[in-house]
Structure 1
């Protein structure tokens, strides 16, 4: 049977991650810590056989991917908007603690969508799963790295596990490794939020 492996990797830290601000589609680059984290995950994956590389088209994901492919003969990194973080509309740039004050009654708002320019959670899942399905057809029985975002990765884990893990249950830290695979109509989750390549002090951020 053909097994397609996906390595879902969150980008390194940004200044907005450090400040716990919602980023969404706002294009914030890696900060110094994020670049160091990207170099660490890159070195860790140096001997992992990876056939294809994809990333979100946002700077923080692209830079993380660029570090990883240095160890893989500088293979091309194909960019896909489908692997972007959820769009948070008016909330982008806000700290989570500001939202209940500015939008009374909406709390953290993670399940919300369709108001204030926020993308629905289901729309994010659907665009992501549609692209993954496309890649299964394009690269059967191969290993694919996808450099993306915490909220996005969690939404995929939530979907393929029927809610056992993922959104609301799992924290996806900067440059964490998440290994999933697809075989004959069935998804398997092998690794979640693996940060063995990071020093203790770097495993601190759970922002988006």
Structure 2
């Protein structure tokens, strides 16, 4: 679906809120609402590389897609099913989100990290524009639950990500060839990450990661629209 009037206003507001920050790359879902929001941000960063990635799409819910919550709930009741019975499985959904995260890490970790394909000499600042389900799956389901990233004590992780809210996480890492698939508290995922070598072959690397979620679902930039606010003092903090 397309952004409505409120959605367009919120996209413009978050674009202005982030205009002074520097991003090395912007990735967005190719679905219209996320893409339009990303474009509203990107116009303040015209020289920043901008890429669409279908792995950042919201979970596919099959024939429930495009229906109102009420209509979808009525159909589920009529068919005696559950939300999870439709479309993409939770396992497949998480799998593609983690796959995107793995590729992003290998691409953008500074080149001094073994296994990185980046030529960056410093840490990259990456902007992801995606959907609430993807954000929840990546942050709560993978970074916190799987990789054991620390969480700012002031965060309220109980609520889900809100429209045009800002969430920040920091990733640090180094290769550990002795890591095993059971070491999911620090490995990118339970699978190794394939990296293409100069001769076109694929080599498998395993990166140990650590990091933290420093800001969760901040919407203080929407205060003028009467939205519930959270402290956003850390949005500008890259330390």
TM-score > 0.5, shorter chain as reference: yes
Say which SS state the counterpart of residue 199 (structure 1) adopts: helix
| 2:161 corresponds to | 172
Task: State the superposition RMSD in angstroms.
Answer: 2.3
Q: Shift in Å at residue 93 of structure 1? A: 2.2
Change over 3 Å in CA distance of 1:61–1:74 after alignment to 2: farther
1:137-168 residue CA offsets vs partner (Å, 9 max, x unmatched): 11112010011001111111222211899xx9
1:27-46 to structure 2, matched below 5 A, reads 28-46=1-19
| 2:127 corresponds to | 145
TM-score of the aligned structures, taking structure 2 as reference length:
0.64
Which residue among 121, 124, 128 is the counterpart of 2:93?
124
Say which SS state the counterpart of residue 197 (structure 1) adopts: helix
Which residue among 214, 223, 239 is the counterpart of 1:199?
223
Q: Is the 8 A contact 1:99 1:106 kept in 2?
A: no
Q: Shift in Å at residue 91 of structure 1? A: 0.7
Q: Shift in Å at residue 202 of structure 1? A: 5.5
Distance in 2, Cα, partners of 1:144 & 1:63? 18
Say which SS state the counterpart of residue 34 (structure 2) adopts: helix
TM-score of the aligned structures, taking structure 1 as reference length:
0.73
Residue 103 (structure 2) pairs with residue 134 (structure 1): yes
Q: Is the 8 A contact 2:23 2:127 kept in 1?
A: yes
Q: Shift in Å at residue 99 of structure 1? A: 3.6
Distance in 1, Cα, partners of 2:25 & 2:105? 12
Higher relative contact order (CA 8 A, sep 6+): 1
Distance in 1, Cα, partners of 2:131 & 2:65? 15
Distance in 1, Cα, partners of 2:226 & 2:51? 28
Q: Shift in Å at residue 57 of structure 1? A: 0.7
| 2:32 corresponds to | 59
Say which SS state the counterpart of residue 193 (structure 1) adopts: strand
Deviates more, 1:96-105 or 1:186-195: 96-105
1:79-99 residue CA offsets vs partner (Å, 9 max, x unmatched): 000000000101112233334
Say which SS state the counterpart of residue 46 (structure 1) adopts: coil
Structure 2: stretches of 5+ with no match in the other structure: 110-122, 152-156, 174-208, 229-239
Distance in 1, Cα, partners of 2:33 & 2:15? 14
Distance in 2, Cα, partners of 1:95 & 1:30? 15
Distance in 1, Cα, partners of 2:45 & 2:72? 42
Say which SS state the counterpart of residue 130 (structure 1) adopts: helix
| 1:69 corresponds to | 42
Structure 1: stretches of 5+ with no match in the other structure: 1-27
Change over 3 Å in CA distance of 1:102–1:37 after alignment to 2: same
1:123-146 residue CA offsets vs partner (Å, 9 max, x unmatched): 111111111111111111201001
